[in-house]
Structure 1
């Protein structure tokens, strides 16, 4: 009875794992401790069951598993002898073949070395069986072994055509195999057996290998006749192999990146390109690019393809497992970094040197390039170069309606910083994290930064660079002088702003003006470098802030510092400048009349009276735009009879009907310090504002004229006219 109870308990755990994707820890601890060790050391990925479905082949050995990063972070395809495991993207996660896409994942093949078999395959397919797609034997039953669950089968020794093998494969497919066992027993050496696929001259050594091909294409197989029947060898395309036992099956997690290039219909696969512990790029990844015509995997021209993994074992076995990092079709995302030396206006690249005190700007650039979902719940995990003294930063977005996130110096004190980033989408495709700071003496290596979202993970590296000390050590100072000592000024919109300062050294040595330059930065924008004047006293600084660089009606910031011939950077001074905004005013009469007119029974144009004056005053300074619009109601008498007339505006040959709605009256760009535009100055009998009265209008008598009134609404904007 006790034995029966124990057996039942184990089976419940197994069923729970297979149906609901619970933790694999319980099963691993009972059957195979190396599985638990691999999963406990797994890198972070995205949740598998959000985008994938287990294949519906009979006795599918694939199960979902937990890692330290959460539930359902991995899929284990096999862990015992004679298994077949498959997992496929669900319908909503299909990959588009019409745009570039990247898939990335971590793969673990166990550590059984020469006892391992048979491996896994990454597969693109449009097989009509959908989730039930797999290799089959001659009876149509799912088949693993050397087929890896995707290639054709040559078990029927009476079939001598390669098409007979191809029809047993996953149809309309392309596969990248990770084959951990070399199948080189020929049909003649082992009658009735099928273990010959890897007897291919393209494979240089009888060890594990990576290769690609089209499983349902007869050209993938070469048939051989023996006295015992036929067997097939597989033609491996662009293989990757190490030529040593234990390669791949070393218990480590191996990173794989696949890049689909839609324009030329090629796939690039890269093996071992990242370190599983640090995420840093590995020095010698192996890469191949092969042609994958869309018609071979999408003969129905749907523009989409299902993808996933198959894995199998025979008498030899291994615990095959996969962690997905980026799922094409869900989110396509990229990340890059760049550093700019604002003092020299040059890019900081790997191996370069930067002078101490130079202003640096570090950018982390995230981009969403497509997918069926937004890239959501993004956390930026930044490893900050230690040789920068950070002063602050921002997070800005491609959708400029989103607010800018301000980062303070205190936010950036730790060498490792985590920042939340808004979701990226078609409407908001980019985010840029910008960090500002000053270079300080020291060196930094290349640092990996991870951008982890709920449905995609990517990374980018900052370059290694060295900050060198100046050739002279005496401190270099700058101080405001004269009227600039207050550190602030308020000016009119037209005014340049002069500032003065004095440079000095701690050791009292003389500043050489001919070897010293100024670095002005206005509102965060570096300006051209300016040499000190050799005709001025030693160390005397004079600089004029250009009016056109200042924003009217706002507080502007000038940062000013100097650099001498020894590479010393002075104190960085800040000067605030408030620009008075000026005003934009419209003058129109509150009440005005049109000239008394005797009706003729024909259409007439009636001019405004001389008191109908309209003008615009702009004291905001040059370069500002404005546009004036107007519309009118109909004209009616006090008895509510309507005057058959329209208020029009004539400007040359153009005629606008103000009674029909708003029409442009005038627009201009102010060119001087201030300007008054007399809109009504040139109005006349056939130009400007006119009342167009029709011939059927009814007037009053000389003693009792008919009076009609209406309302003109003026609309005034401080922007150019919109056509």
Structure 2
């Protein structure tokens, strides 16, 4: 702020030559007015409409009014114009009777401020004022360094004379781009920034109508003169206010502790992303307002002199108008985890973005809400989106308009106490085929209605490329017989260079015959070789196998959650069909009588069939015999025959006869073939009448056959 009659601009001197006596040198003031008011309006951030929220004070020459933003990229945005980048302006604009500030309720006020692009030549500034004077919406203080809110130090010996000219019963935050540090009454009213240790443009606060705010200075002995500075509280110093940018400002009132916290530059003007900013907290003395209702008026005042700047405000949140919140979360559906700041996710992971808008209360419904979405531009493929409302309504999100990660959609429903929430869900999939990590920045989306705006920011996270963990087994299929374990050797490798398999970090999972198997009991894993070999032996104990076909499925997951391909190992536990017979068997010694005779077996015969293939399997046993001969080659007249249990005699010499057929009824069947033969049945020796005495021998060929089940 500065005194408006003090000239601090470049002066161009023009030398005028006169034909009369002498030379006259006349200083001509040349003020180059860089009109950045229109530029500021065309670059406004997203804000809200202010219909019936503020009203200009009625004094003559008031520069303050509500104007429309001209930025084509924002919607429903009004601008409070306190001053418009011209010299010698003074403005004041105040909340209407329906929008007073309630000291009994905690509240947040957020806004964007613009002070033009005048640099160090900017003056005088503006002030955010809370007050309870008797002038209502017509209050205005003094001009110049007083910014329309403070008093004036016009050579008076009483601080109360200064404060009397200020807005009464008030507290103000000044946004002052110009230092007024004249320590001399002859310099006029230009000393309000003395003795505060200020180094440049600044923000500070105090009570304009309180005489204790003003500190007296004097000069002279007999004829004294006086001037004053203001005690600055809650200082944020050395700012670059008039740099052409919009600056975000947030004010938070804690009704319980009477603390007012203000934070400057706490949002990025380009992305709306939250920044730390600079903050100060003041404990308000509410008695200064002298209110019995706790309802006070608030608004902005401002002034320019020969030096000037914009004094523009775009509101996001006006207390009491709408109270609502927005939040943003991301869930990794593939791994069932929340994505927080710094979380690693992986190529191919399925993601759900959820934005929750919640209306808590307000004098108005939250209307004409436009979701101005800012999404990650790389690493995510967006698949679908929906919006659901508390009243049961829903609509689809049109993702076809996404460009550079941005798209907008107007919500079909307003939010109110009757319909107090909207949930925006966007489905996507991580996509990283680069071979390196993609770092996804936080992204801030705005939800701007005609009367309220709020933002929500997604966290930063990383998308790791899939290192292509591959599992191979050898053999790829296994055949075992009952009672034997099934084993196969697995090998894990990465397909992306730079990744090394660490055995101890691999988590192997298995299913056996469609059921999750317990590693260590159902399936045993034994790592082989070095700690980074990637090789293991998988063993399925015999008692875990069923007869017939088995299926072992193996999958590995590394420490980063990357999963290998699944490998299916068929295991055939086929059982065995086996014939056991004695190698030498004989018939009883018999004296030939010249008659045909059937000679019975000796007790040295043994013949059994073992079938471990399981119930329902069939087998058939056949036998054939050679001719019987002596050692000298004499052939027996006769040969081996098979006598059935119905006493039918079948010749076996060079002819296969059926000995037995059976269907297995258990998992392990052993059949003693001879047990069903009587002494005069089964295989016997038939000696014809012409047979000669001698020792004869021959060979029986047994054929045990599997009989297919139809």
Q: Which bracket does the TM-score occupy, shorter chain normalised?
A: 0.5 to 0.7
Alignment check: 8 A CA contact 2:510 2:518 kept: no
Alignment check: 8 A CA contact 2:468 2:564 kept: no
**Structure 1 residues 413, 272: CA separation in 2 closer, same or farther (over 3 Å shift)?**
closer
Alignment check: 8 A CA contact 2:130 2:299 kept: yes
Alignment check: 8 A CA contact 1:357 1:568 kept: no
Task: Give distance in 1, aligned partners of 2:357 and 2:65.
Answer: 33
Task: Give distance in 2, aligned partners of 1:304 and 1:83.
Answer: 29
Alignment check: 8 A CA contact 2:160 2:211 kept: yes
1:45 lines up with 2:47 in the alignment: yes
Find the counterpart in structure 2 of residue 333 from structure 1: 324
Aligned-residue offset at 1:235: 0.5
**Structure 1 residues 128, 37: CA separation in 2 closer, same or farther (over 3 Å shift)?**
same
Task: Give distance in 2, aligned partners of 1:419 and 1:505.
Answer: 47
1:154 lines up with 2:153 in the alignment: yes
Aligned-residue offset at 1:344: 4.1
Find the counterpart in structure 1 of residue 372 from structure 2: 381
Find the counterpart in structure 1 of residue 408 from structure 2: 418
Tell me the SS of whatever aligns to 1:270.
strand
Task: Give distance in 1, aligned partners of 2:468 and 2:250.
Answer: 49
Task: Give distance in 2, aligned partners of 1:37 and 1:409.
Answer: 32
Find the counterpart in structure 1 of residue 78 from structure 2: 73
**Structure 1 residues 80, 568: CA separation in 2 closer, same or farther (over 3 Å shift)?**
closer
1:195 lines up with 2:185 in the alignment: no
Task: Give distance in 2, aligned partners of 1:208 and 1:195.
Answer: 15
Which of 101, 125, 145 in structure 2 is aligned with 1:95? Answer: 101
Find the counterpart in structure 1 of residue 486 from structure 2: none
Alignment check: 8 A CA contact 2:398 2:409 kept: no
Find the counterpart in structure 2 of residue 174 from structure 1: 171
**Superposed CA offset, 1:210-238 (max 9, x none):** 10111122221212333333222100001
Aligned 1:267-416 pairs, distance under 5 A: 267-282=260-275, 285-297=277-289, 299-385=290-376, 386-397=378-389, 399=390, 401-405=391-395, 415-416=405-406
Find the counterpart in structure 1 of residue 507 from structure 2: 515
**Structure 1 residues 518, 51: CA separation in 2 closer, same or farther (over 3 Å shift)?**
farther
1:456 lines up with 2:452 in the alignment: yes
Find the counterpart in structure 1 of residue 631 from structure 2: none
Query: TM-score scaled by structure 2?
Result: 0.59
Aligned-residue offset at 1:378: 0.8
1:112 lines up with 2:112 in the alignment: no
**Structure 1 residues 180, 507: CA separation in 2 closer, same or farther (over 3 Å shift)?**
closer
Find the counterpart in structure 2 of residue 186 from structure 1: 183
Task: Give distance in 2, aligned partners of 1:330 and 1:186.
Answer: 45
Find the counterpart in structure 2 of residue 466 from structure 1: 462
Structure 1 residues not aligned, in runs of 5+: 1-29, 136-142, 477-503, 520-529, 541-560, 573-723
**Superposed CA offset, 1:392-414 (max 9, x none):** 444334x3x33244558879898
Aligned-residue offset at 1:348: 1.7
Find the counterpart in structure 1 of residue 64 from structure 2: 62
Alignment check: 8 A CA contact 2:56 2:65 kept: yes
**Superposed CA offset, 1:222-258 (max 9, x none):** 1233333322210000111127xxx211222211111
Alignment check: 8 A CA contact 2:156 2:162 kept: no
Aligned-residue offset at 1:451: 0.8
Task: Give distance in 1, aligned partners of 2:556 and 2:263.
Answer: 46
Find the counterpart in structure 2 of residue 266 from structure 1: 259
Aligned-residue offset at 1:315: 3.0
Task: Give distance in 2, aligned partners of 1:90 and 1:229.
Answer: 41
**Structure 1 residues 32, 358: CA separation in 2 closer, same or farther (over 3 Å shift)?**
closer
Aligned-residue offset at 1:536: 6.5
Task: Give distance in 2, aligned partners of 1:32 and 1:204.
Answer: 27
The aligned length equals: 466
Aligned 1:27-46 pairs, distance under 5 A: 33-46=35-48
Alignment check: 8 A CA contact 2:125 2:174 kept: yes
**Superposed CA offset, 1:410-462 (max 9, x none):** 79898333333332223333332223343332431111211111111221211
Tell me the SS of whatever aligns to 1:267.
strand
Alignment check: 8 A CA contact 1:514 1:531 kept: no
Find the counterpart in structure 2 of residue 675 from structure 1: none
Alignment check: 8 A CA contact 2:369 2:410 kept: yes
Alignment check: 8 A CA contact 1:102 1:332 kept: no
Aligned-residue offset at 1:31: 7.6
Task: Give distance in 2, aligned partners of 1:163 and 1:108.
Answer: 33
Tell me the SS of whatever aligns to 2:310.
coil
1:446 lines up with 2:438 in the alignment: no
**Superposed CA offset, 1:596-623 (max 9, x none):** xxxxxxxxxxxxxxxxxxxxxxxxxxxx
**Superposed CA offset, 1:24-64 (max 9, x none):** xxxxxx98632222222222322334411111122212234
Larger Rg: 2
Alignment check: 8 A CA contact 2:471 2:492 kept: yes
Tell me the SS of whatever aligns to 2:116.
coil
Tell me the SS of whatever aligns to 2:356.
strand
Find the counterpart in structure 2 of residue 688 from structure 1: none
Structure 2 residues not aligned, in runs of 5+: 1-31, 433-437, 473-490, 496-503, 525-537, 541-553, 567-710
Tell me the SS of whatever aligns to 1:258.
strand
Which of 204, 208, 218 in structure 1 is aligned with 2:198? Answer: 204
Find the counterpart in structure 2 of residue 19 from structure 1: none
**Superposed CA offset, 1:658-701 (max 9, x none):** xxxxxxxxxxxxxxxxxxxxxxxxxxxxxxxxxxxxxxxxxxxx
Task: Give distance in 2, aligned partners of 1:350 and 1:311.
Answer: 42
Find the counterpart in structure 2 of residue 634 from structure 1: none
1:431 lines up with 2:422 in the alignment: yes
Aligned 1:637-656 pairs, distance under 5 A: none
